[in-house]
Amino acid sequence: MRIDDALIWAKFLLSNSDSPLLDAQILLAHVLEKESVYLMTWPERDLTAEQKSRFESLVEQRINGMPVAYLTGIREFWSLPLKVNNATLIPRPDTEILVETALSYCTAQSCILDLGTGTGAIILALASELPNSSCFAVDFNKDAVALANENASSLNIKNVTFKQSNWFENVVGQFDLIVSNPPYIDENDKHLNQGDVRFEPLSALVAKDNGLSDIRLIAQQAKHYLNDNGILIIEHGFEQGNDVREIFATLGYEGINTIKDYGDNERITVARYHSK
C-alpha cells in the first residue's frame, strides 16, 4: 500500500471524526516515524507489511473512539511535545489561554503553583517562558506526577518541582500565582459518554456539586498560600462563569475577571487576593 492510498483509505474509514484526514496523517506519520510533511513529499512510497499492519490497527482503534494522543503517546501544547497516557487528561488548545493569562500577571522571578498538573502542560509552558521563575506542581495521581517529571526531563526544563499531593495537602510555601485546570464536569453530564473524554480518567474530569466542588475547595484554600496581592486563575466549564465569580467574590477575592476561550465561551476566571 502506498502512502497516498493509505491516507485515502484511512480518511474514508475515519469519516465520523471531526478531522479524518488530520487523524490519518498523524497516525501514519507516527507509524513511519516521520514528520507529516514526509507524507506529502513522498506519497508514492510503499508501506512495509509491518507498517501497514500497525497503521491499520491504529485506525481501527481510532474508529472505536480512542483519542489520537493516546494512540501516539504525544500531544503538543504551547509548542511543547508532551508525552500523554491514560493516567492524565489530554491537554486542550483552549487551556493555552490560561497560560497566556498567567504570563500577563507574572514577573521574571514569580513563584508559581499548578494544582492537578496532569501531564505538566500548564506549569511546563510557564516554566519554559519564565526560566528564572520558581515553579511547583502537584497531582494526587502518582502516575501523573511520574509522567510530568518525564516531560520536564525530556524538555530539559529544570525550574519545576513536581510532588504528589491531593490539592494543597502536601503543599508548603507561599506563591505569587496559583493556577489550576481542575475537574469541573458534573457527574451526570451527557458529554461524558461522547468523544475523547470516554477514554480519559473520570477523576480528572468530574466533580460534585454541579462540577464546582473542587473549584470551591481550591478557592477557599488558595487564600492561605497566596502572597499578598497574589493571583488565582482557574479554568472551568463554559456555563460556570457566574458561579465561579460568585465563589471568588464570597471568599473575598478582588479584581475578578472571566476570559473567553477560542469558541467565545467563558473559560478562565482570574482573581486577586489581599492577605493583609
Residues 6+ apart with CB under 8 A from 229: 272, 273, 274
Residue 16 contacts residue 62 (beta carbons within 8 Å)? no
- Rounded to whole angstroms, the Cα distance separating 101 from 177 reads 11
pTM higher than 0.85, yes or no?
Answer: yes
Residue 165 contacts residue 139 (beta carbons within 8 Å)? yes
C-alpha cell at 184: 469541573
CATH numbers and ranges of domains, the chain: 3-64 (1.10.8.10), 86-273 (3.40.50.150)
Tens-digit pLDDT profile for residues 43-84: 999 999 999 999 999 999 999 889 999 999 999 999 999 999
Q: Taking the chain (276 residues) in consecutive chunks of 10 residues, what is each chunk's mean pLDDT?
A: 94 90 94 91 93 95 92 94 92 95 94 97 98 96 96 96 97 97 84 74 83 96 96 95 96 96 95 86
Residue 138 contacts residue 202 (beta carbons within 8 Å)? no
